[in-house]
Chain A
């Protein structure tokens, strides 16, 4: 998938580079970013305006979903929606494309370490209340 989003005129039917679209792709089990066609910056989450060069010429870009763990924490006290998962690790992952993404890391807390190779996976269930965004998460890259 590598579709273009028109600058001004609606040249095709690809979704706008918004957070809502990002999570719509997650619901299809696809991890995507936007890319500025002008300066090539990767925009994750997607944005309508490139913060680097101010271009609005933005296209979608599929991500491999693999990367390594830059830093982490293990959550022991959580808001209600996450209380049944504690303790759970969260982290910031440097994706192979060079952009970063935070998320839950489904690894045993004792196994977590900086540099761990991870890949993105997707939850299948979604909430009916706003925002019904499909969550991605990370697992060890060598497990399937």
Chain B
């Protein structure tokens, strides 16, 4: 299995991310699916696409459970099996694994996999409550520990153990906003400064408003195939060569150390071994920056730097476009936006664009290997994928 393609991405699509007023999830998902289909003229969706796997975190936003059949119906494929996968903010990362397994089983040659969330029509306190459902209800939510506060607990522990600073966390936000300026799909396309982050209002100290990812509407969609037939659909397939997933206790408090995520380390190890890659071999990565501290922890868990050196890595510009390992060239969850169920596949979509030379002004030169890191809750689910350009 080492280094062999598991499945191949032949197309990717993304809706605009942002405040998409007056549109329901299935309508937003169609925008992403249509872009994926239009980008791949050799694909006849009605003939070729045999199943849909879709990530969505919460039925609370739109009072709509059982979303998957509504999405396949709206994309013109009402009869295909359509299944929703839920793993909080890692929902569509987990859906991608299901899609890969569906291809590898030999049952399907071509499947669609995506994600969608519609969030901005809800009041902030409702969004706060729905997102908190990704953490433990009896011991965390019940005690007023909000989702930002969970990451505040991680940030305080990281600052205490390693001396990571609020300024270094702010630099993650500044970098990702800079990258977002080059992504027309990003929710926010303006630069910000460390001072602006530091002076933004507190949400859950030490995290301030500009340390938090955005409340967003958006959808993402990929078409993946059996590796052997990918060239029927495109001259530039991207092979998925590694996949890893792990779980941990749902409560942050039950873990021995709150300065890293065991799920990310474990999922990364699985994906690195399967793909025969090392952290040094990654040219571009999309990581789960739901809060700025999460990106710093991700650098360390993925092996881009040693534990405790994530703050320094961003400070030295190593993860900026032009740096040693550009991270979140899309703008990340911070600037591109974080419609939670759509995020895992949106990350894969950015890597697809990077590895096929379609990333425009944010293109990483000669990128041939990419990685995505998608986290659910406070790290109860972690999903890592590794991708390689064909040829």
Contacts and interface: CB of A to CB of B under 8 A. Distances in A.
Contacts of A87: 202, 205
A98 to B, nearest CB: 11
A72 interface: yes
Question: Which has the most chain B C-beta neighbours within 10 Å: A45, A92, A103, A133?
Answer: A92
Nearest to B140: A102
Question: Which has the most chain B C-beta neighbours within 10 Å: A19, A71, A75?
Answer: A71
Interface stretch (A3-11, A55-63, A77-85): A77-85
Question: Which has the most chain A C-beta neighbours within 10 Å: B124, B140, B201, B254?
Answer: B254
Interface in B109-145: 124-125, 128-129, 132, 138-140, 142-145
Contacts of A70: 157, 258
Contacts of A135: 142-143
A141 interface: no
B251 A102 contact: yes
- Contact-size category for B: 35 or more
B205 A103 contact: no
A77 B203 contact: yes
A122 to B, nearest CB: 12
A23 to B, nearest CB: 8
A79 B142 contact: no
A61 to B, nearest CB: 17
A71 B157 contact: yes
Contact of A90 (B145, B155, B201, B251): B145
Contact of B149 (A23, A75, A80): A75
B252 A104 contact: no
Contact of B125 (A71, A79, A92, A131): A79
B156 A45 contact: no
Contacts of B146: 75, 77-79
A92 B258 contact: yes
Interface string A42-80: 000100000000000000000000000011111111111
A139 interface: no
A5 to B, nearest CB: 20
B142 A78 contact: no
Contact of A76 (B140, B160, B205): B205
B142 A131 contact: yes
Nearest to A103: B143
B251 to A, nearest CB: 7
B253 interface: yes
Contacts of A90: 143-145, 149, 153
B260 to A, nearest CB: 13
Given A92-B253, A102-B145, A79 B129 contact: yes
A131 B143 CA distance: 12
B156 A72 contact: yes
A92 B153 contact: yes
A39 interface: no
B171 interface: no
A102 B253 contact: yes
Nearest to A109: B205
Given A88-B144, A102-B143, A73 B138 contact: no
A91 interface: yes
B332 interface: no
Contact of B253 (A79, A81, A101, A133): A101
Interface in A17-59: 19, 23, 45
Given A74-B204, A76-B203, A80-B125, A114 B156 contact: yes
Given A92-B252, A131-B142, 7 more contacts: A45-B138, A70-B157, A75-B149, A78-B125, A85-B144, A90-B144, A135-B142
26 contacts: A71-B154, A71-B160, A72-B153, A72-B156, A73-B152, A73-B155, A73-B206, A75-B145, A77-B148, A78-B144, A79-B125, A79-B146, A83-B125, A90-B145, A90-B149, A91-B153, A92-B153, A92-B253, A100-B253, A102-B139, A102-B140, A102-B145, A102-B253, A131-B138, A135-B143, A137-B143
